[in-house]
Structure 1
């Protein structure tokens, strides 16, 4: 089996946040795109991060460390880490529970 291909097709988002507390929001969003195996150009990484941040309404938080975020903000960053990978399937363990209804719908 080609495990690399399978890994790109499925993104897992847990209710517990899987963030690096010493990284900024931007660094957390970039992290899944940085492995050499992906070989994404910097411009593509920047575009994916910007698009995810806009979608999740966290653009204003990109330079903030994740240990300075609220629960809902951390959850959005966690979801963003999955979104930037552009998976075919998202597996989610109630990651939207910390978000308000309007944002959940978006």
Structure 2
């Protein structure tokens, strides 16, 4: 199944969820694959050192949105990234 391939995708248009904060956007995929809450928080903290987690995508510049999209892929710890 596609979800078991351990590949993370970053779309050109970011594919972020506007009502969610940066942290919630990054956690979304991990929650879908049922990552334990402690592991989820650790991965988000590691990937988010340079991001402002309480903001919403509409409050971010294009470059910041792209970094959030990349962060969302990083927290999955995939074997490959598709950009």
Normalised by the length of structure 1, the TM-score is: 0.73
* Structure 2, unaligned runs of 5 or more: none
Match of 1:79 in 2: 70
Root-mean-square deviation (CA, aligned residues, Å) is 1.2
Match of 2:24 in 1: 27
Match of 2:39 in 1: 44
* Structure 1, unaligned runs of 5 or more: 93-106
Q: How many residues align?
A: 83
Deviation at 1:4, TM superposition (A): 3.5
Larger RCO (CA under 8 A, 6+ residues apart):
2
Match of 1:65 in 2: 56
Distance 1:18 1:48 in 2: 20
Which structure has the greater CA radius of gyration? 1
8 Å Cα contact 1:22-1:67 kept in structure 2? no
Structure 1 residue runs of 4 or more that deviate by more than 2 Å after TM superposition: none
Deviation at 1:12, TM superposition (A): 1.1
Normalised by the length of structure 2, the TM-score is: 0.91
Distance 1:51 1:5 in 2: 23
